[in-house]
Structure 1
Amino acid sequence: MAKKKKSTNTSSTIALNKKARHEYFLEDKFEAGISLQGWEVKSIRQGKVNLSDSYVVLKKGEAYLLGSQIQPLNMASSHVYCDPERTRKLLLKKKELDKLIGATEREGYTLVATAMYWKKCWVKLEFHLGKGKKSHDKRADVKDKDWARQKERLMKHKQR
């Protein structure tokens, strides 16, 4: 008898940055591990993470996450200083870092954090290369969403 394989896909979303798709044209997607402290992992398990207004910065050949907030638990120990907005180092390969440095310095891209999720037992950050949208681009997106919503309503009423 053959043994059944257990599913290895045990990823679940912790936090999303919904504003990112509205504010930026998102292009290439990257995944990075995050260097965290113990209290941060406990807070992430409780879901106390905010990724809105967060972005990735490249300094001295390394990537850092800025603007994300991980709120400490009420029961945190008193001898550990918990800074909810500290910069967190991202774990990337050298080849990926070189690609990101080239895109941000030469082509004017921004690195925008879009999601944080569990991948097996590790916390991963998904971020994209993005270019900022102008106000007329945002209006076009809203117009497309409205038209898609109206189309769904029309199709729903037609089927009845």
Structure 2
Amino acid sequence: MSKKPSKDKANGATATKTIALNKRARHEYHLEERYEAGVALQGWEVKAIRAGRANIVDGYAYVRSGEIFLIGAQITPLIQASSHTIPEERRTRKLLLHRREIDKVLSSVERDGYTLVPTALYWSNNKIKLEIALAKGKQNHDKRDAAKDRDWQRDKQRVMRRHNRDA
């Protein structure tokens, strides 16, 4: 991954705040490697993101001519935003990674069945970052198995709680 978020000097906590999550990605894909990428945005997009008008659920990333782009992510413009340009909600946005990370992602995506999906959009030290994951699509039986395991873990915790309460 890229640089770790720096520590806040006052209390030692990292200065990150989540803007948008893609929970559907965990359900529909096996997520493997994760990368932190910067996003090349226009001014009206930053204002809209500050207002909480970002959605990355339908987005995906692809590699073209040695660069990585985000497609399908929606940033709804504010009414008063940008009178000199026409805001486009679902425009293609360039992702900013180091060259060696792009090369690594490119070699991984070329494998059969792999894609790049955005998993989180967040603030990191006053910069907007996007977490993208190398992912392989799940089949329906994989999704059912994951739901069955989740239900079993929940039932097991419930039984343990009940058993500990009685003891």
TM bucket (normalised to shorter chain) is over 0.9
Larger CA deviation: 82-91 vs 7-16: 7-16
Q: How does 1:43-58 map to 2 (within 5 A)?
A: 43-58=48-63
Q: How does 1:90-101 map to 2 (within 5 A)?
A: 90-101=95-106
Amino acid at match of 2:18: T
Gaps of 5+ in 2: 1-8
* Separation in 2, partners of 1:48, 1:158: 45
Residue of structure 1 aligned with 2:16, choices 11, 19, 27: 11
* Separation in 2, partners of 1:17, 1:99: 23
Percent of aligned positions that are identical: 53
Q: Is 2:76–2:89's contact at 8 Å kept on the other side of the alignment?
A: yes
* Separation in 1, partners of 2:111, 2:65: 16
1:24 aligned partner: 29
Larger CA deviation: 121-130 vs 77-86: 77-86
* Separation in 2, partners of 1:67, 1:30: 19
Residue of structure 2 aligned with 1:41, choices 46, 59, 64: 46
Residue of structure 2 aligned with 1:76, choices 73, 81, 86: 81
Gaps of 5+ in 1: none
1:149 aligned partner: 154
Residue 109 in structure 1 maps to residue 114 in structure 2: yes
2:4 aligned partner: none
What secondary structure, in the 3-state scheme, does the structure 2 residue paired with 1:137 have? helix
**Cα offset, 1:156, TM superposition:** 2.1
* Separation in 2, partners of 1:108, 1:152: 35
1:89 aligned partner: 94
1:121 aligned partner: 126
Q: Could you say what the CA RMSD is over the residues aligned between the two structures, in angstroms?
A: 1.3
2:138 aligned partner: 133
Structure 1 residues 20-66: Cα deviation after superposition (integer angstroms, max 9, x where no partner)? 01111111110100000001001111111111121111001000001
TM-score under structure 1 normalisation? 0.92
TM-score under structure 2 normalisation? 0.89
**Cα offset, 1:107, TM superposition:** 4.3
1:63 aligned partner: 68
**Cα offset, 1:8, TM superposition:** 6.2
* Separation in 2, partners of 1:138, 1:123: 31
What secondary structure, in the 3-state scheme, does the structure 2 residue paired with 1:113 have? strand
